[in-house]
Homo-oligomer: A and B are copies of this chain.
């Protein structure tokens, strides 16, 4: 493995693709718009980013983003690979981003630019220890040695009283759920502050454990200012909680990394706001890249979206995201893909057929809480559907034997 960083972009440009690629490499290493004093050939040889490959792609059919130089009729689309000397920034996630992303999205020479892949040298693995728990550690903590992990989100997202939340946790815990998570909207609101939420939830979890000999993992959303992350984590740890959640984009990758150096619990990484720099196919940072950085920064669990989700991504995109999170990275950084958004029992067979994995955390919010027979029946329906899927039993056959599953399919449909 070399000491370089390789970044891959999909671009559209009205100038020849090779020239646009050179502009990208120049802007992000030692160049500016004019050649300046002290910019020696030796300096350029040492620090200039190198265009490694330019491969033409079919046109996107979309008009270029605003401000592009040249005639839109001349636009060609291509995949551009650029190699950056690690010596330009060292193994630092923030400084890496200045080079491989930085001002690139604003260049006039391109009418589209998306960072679609990133290969990092081993120096990053030396600096960033990454997730402490991953799949195996999470399975151990939530006591589910094999099979998919079934989770849910507290719904309504916000506004429950402490007593209502405790009741919900007990109901879900008694039903054998593996993980309950706060909604990303549930941070530290004045009505039910995190401190109080941690108290009532962990008490409820103890009650569940006493009764059933097993308690779900609860991912407390501790997202907040950096200075509050460690105290929030400590609050959860001291109360006997087993997981903390942060919205990665809201504390920043740097905030996640800060937390990961202090955590004694798995970090559940939510991707809220990811769409802001991902939904335009012509701009931003692909999930493939984002998840690498989030894992290096220490996320044990990463939201990938789920099949037939309520958001914009296609099933193929979701499958690619799950595969990306499961792929080893620099020899490690094991993380657990979290499937969510409108997940219901009817999706179990499709999900298993496409992923061929049970190293998944499948979250069903409305699909459990909205079950006509209540949350406990919702949990049972999810578990039964997944057991059928992994054992090769048709969904309808299992539903005929399990009324809660039949009711879920009736209410939420199937894939």
**CB of A148 closer than 8 Å to a CB of B:** no
User: CB-CB < 8 A to A310: which residues of B?
Assistant: 33, 108
**CB of A327 closer than 8 Å to a CB of B:** no
**CB of A350 closer than 8 Å to a CB of B:** no
Number of interface residues of A (CB under 8 A): 98
15 further contact pairs, Cβ within 8 A, besides A38-B160, A98-B184, A104-B275: A31-B156, A32-B370, A36-B370, A38-B155, A38-B156, A43-B156, A90-B189, A94-B187, A95-B189, A98-B273, A106-B279, A106-B311, A276-B277, A276-B284, A279-B283
Task: Give the number of copies in the complex.
Answer: 2
Query: Quick check: A275 and B105 within 8 Å, CB to CB?
Result: yes
**CB of A247 closer than 8 Å to a CB of B:** yes
The CA-CA distance from A274 to B101 in the complex, in Å, is 10
**CB of A358 closer than 8 Å to a CB of B:** no
Query: Quick check: B102 and A273 within 8 Å, CB to CB?
Result: yes
Chain A window 283-313, contacts with chain B (Cβ cutoff 8 Å), 1 for yes, 0 for no:
1110000000000000000000000001111
**CB of A348 closer than 8 Å to a CB of B:** no
Query: Quick check: A32 and B155 within 8 Å, CB to CB?
Result: yes
User: CB-CB < 8 A to A94: which residues of B?
Assistant: 187, 223-225, 247, 250-251, 255
Query: Quick check: B88 and A184 within 8 Å, CB to CB?
Result: no
Q: A31: shortest Cβ distance to chain B, in Å? A: 8
**CB of A394 closer than 8 Å to a CB of B:** no
Q: Which A residues, 203 to 227, have Cβ-Cβ distances below 8 Å to chain B?
A: 223-227
**CB of A122 closer than 8 Å to a CB of B:** no
Q: Which A residues, 355 to 392, have Cβ-Cβ distances below 8 Å to chain B?
A: 365-366, 369-370, 374-375
Question: CB within 8 A of A255: which of B31, B63, B255?
Answer: B255
**CB of A65 closer than 8 Å to a CB of B:** yes
Question: CB within 8 A of A66: which of B38, B276, B279, B375?
Answer: B279
Given contacts A223-B98, A255-B252, contact A30 B156 (CB under 8 A): yes
Q: A272: shortest Cβ distance to chain B, in Å? A: 4
Query: Quick check: B157 and A29 within 8 Å, CB to CB?
Result: yes
Residue of B nearest to A192 (CB): B87
The CA-CA distance from A65 to B281 in the complex, in Å, is 8
Question: CB within 8 A of A226: which of B255, B278, B313?
Answer: B255
**CB of A331 closer than 8 Å to a CB of B:** no
The CA-CA distance from A211 to B137 in the complex, in Å, is 62
**CB of A107 closer than 8 Å to a CB of B:** yes
Query: Quick check: A98 and B185 within 8 Å, CB to CB?
Result: yes
Query: Quick check: B98 and A247 within 8 Å, CB to CB?
Result: yes
User: CB-CB < 8 A to A34: which residues of B?
Assistant: 366, 369-370
User: CB-CB < 8 A to A138: which residues of B?
Assistant: none
User: CB-CB < 8 A to A63: which residues of B?
Assistant: 62-63
Chain A window 175-217, contacts with chain B (Cβ cutoff 8 Å), 1 for yes, 0 for no:
0000000001101111100000000000000000000000000
The CA-CA distance from A284 to B374 in the complex, in Å, is 38
Query: Quick check: B250 and A98 within 8 Å, CB to CB?
Result: yes
